[in-house]
Structure 1
Amino acid sequence: MRTLRPADLAREHGLSTQAVRNYERSGFLPPADRTDTGYRIYTEVHASALHAYLALVPAHGYPAAGRIMAALNQDDLDRALGIIDSGHGRLIRDRETLDAVRQAVDHLTAEARPDHRTGPLTIGELARRLRVTPATLRNWEDAGIVVPERDPATGYRVFRANDVRDAELAHLLRRGRYPLEHIATVVRQVRTAGGTEALATALGGWQRKLTAQGLAMLTSAARLSAYLDLRNR
């Protein structure tokens, strides 16, 4: 098997030779043999390991990619596969969340109705509007779904326009039997985007990111398989 210098591996991927050494030191590459003078001797196995690690990064992120390669290089295949399985599970949940957000935004747009009130709602007023109990709204608050302010004079909860929007979104998703943890994730996405209209325009970008990650997972799986085949020859 032909030998390679650290510079050979680094040049192919636009890395520094120190980065290659750091990857080996961290366990992302198998240990290299040394010459009598102490220089590292890399082989095609190391090149394949580097290909696999770099393919894992966009698929699973830097921390998980490192853990996967370290597990493989410690001959702990099951641990590596478990980390990979967890990544696929998160991608599935992200896709489910995206679907839930898209459906919720569609429902909110379809069911939107003007509200001529100029001030915030009390917990009782919002409960009557949604036809739920105040205890339900308090449960949603505990789950981080709604974050009402408190009236400084009375200490009572006050639900402003964004809080009402979040509560309506939660109500729609609860009717779809989504768990509170899932709903909290959806609502955070709405808040981050700045509202349902802004979120609707961001869904396409979110979908593209998930698609890119899924394709990266396919590529990384092929690179990992090639590395394992070469290493086990």
Structure 2
Amino acid sequence: MARVVDPGRRWRGAQVAETAGISVQQVRNYVDLGVLPPVERTPAGYRVFTDEHVRALAVVRRMAEGHGWARTREVMVAVHQGDLAAALAALDAGHAELDRERADIRRVLGAFETVVASPAAVLPAPRRGARIGEVADLVGVRTSQLRLWEQRGLVRPVRERGTGYRVYDAAEVRAAQVVALLRRGAYPFDIVAAVLDEMRTTGSAQRVRAELAKREQELHRRSLRRLRASATLHDYLRHLDPAPPG
């Protein structure tokens, strides 16, 4: 990537820092890290900043809002090293993360709706605490599966005093029913765990749906922030190289 830069105005470090509301030391740190372009020095050793540094600092701030500091640093260092491929790969990874999060939310919601719609999910639970064999019969699985689910933290029976036997209250019988239903639907354990966490935390179908919708809306906002950040970076790249590939 060819760099075509008109240095324009000369700036002091304090002036550059003031444009972003940060300290002069932070500006120096950004230069040392490669987040801002290299600086020239006067014969007396003072750093000389230009319009390019002010422009780059504005990009850093917008990028951090959308992508976070770690990825912003990775991208901007790659840009100033002339490694456009590495910068774009880092951006792609960030957008892919959001895509995975969005897919996970929808899978959790789909799994939850499967639970709500299934008659098996509302089987009557024993009034008293049930032992593992009773729960296995009720849910239609082997006791070994219940033990595995317990190891994974999906069901949480208590131990009976004196005997040490596992005892499942109504909530844990319900949890076992949910796990069995979702596993039969080939849902992975992480999605099963997410559904159970939502059910235990919110306590009602409407609140689970509302919480998942809230998370998806926040994901939309994060996606828009990343889009704005990427647009700002694109303008900066065009400034550095008026005729980039593609």
TM-score per shorter chain, which class? 0.7 to 0.9
- Paired letter, 1:82: A
1:4 aligns with 2:11: yes
**Counterpart mapping for 1:2-151 below 5 A:** 2=8, 3-111=10-118, 113=122, 115=124, 117-151=126-160
What percentage of residue pairs aligned between the two structures are identical? 36
| Per-residue CA distance 1:58-100 (angstroms, 9 max, x = gap) | 3332222222223333334333333323222221221112112
Kindly provide the CA deviation profile for residues 120-166 of structure 1, in whole angstroms up to 9, marking residues without a partner as x.
43333333332222333333334443344444544444434444444
Q: Structure 2: how far apart are the matches of 1:190 and 1:212? A: 25
Distance 2:169 2:31 in 1: 54
What count of residue pairs does the alignment treat as equivalent? Answer: 232
Instruction: Report how far residue 190 of structure 1 moved.
Output: 4.7
Query: Which of 217, 220, 225 pairs up with 2:226?
Result: 217
- 1:208 and 2:217 equivalent? yes
Alpha-carbon distance, 1:185 to partner: 4.2
Structure 2: how far apart are the matches of 1:179 and 1:144?
Answer: 14
Other-structure match for 2:4: none
SS at match of 1:61: helix
| Structure-2 change in CA distance of 1:32 and 1:106 (3 Å) | same
Mapped partners of 2:111, 2:160: distance in 1 = 30
Q: Is the 8 A contact 1:108 1:169 kept in 2?
A: yes
1:212, CA displacement in angstroms? 0.9
Aligned equivalents of 2:41, 2:73: Cα separation in 1: 23
Superposition CA RMSD, Å? 3.0
Give structure 1 stretches of 5+ with no counterpart: none
Q: Which residues of structure 2 form unaligned runs of 5+?
A: 1-6
- In the superposition, the TM-score normalised over structure 2's length comes to 0.76
> How far apart are the structure 2 equivalents of 1:94 and 1:128?
36
Larger radius of gyration: 2
Contact 1:120 1:158 (C-alpha < 8 Å) held by counterparts: yes
> Does the aligned pair in 2 maintain the 1:100–1:186 contact within 8 Å?
no
Structure 1: how far apart are the matches of 2:65 and 2:161?
47
Q: Is the alpha carbon distance of 1:213 and 1:22 closer, same or farther for their aligned partners in structure 2, counting shifts above 3 Å?
A: same
**1 or 2 for the larger relative contact order (CA 8 Å, sep ≥6)?**
2
Q: Which range moved further: 120-129 or 94-103? A: 120-129
TM-score after normalising by structure 1: 0.79
State the distance in 2 between where 1:103 and 1:213 align: 22
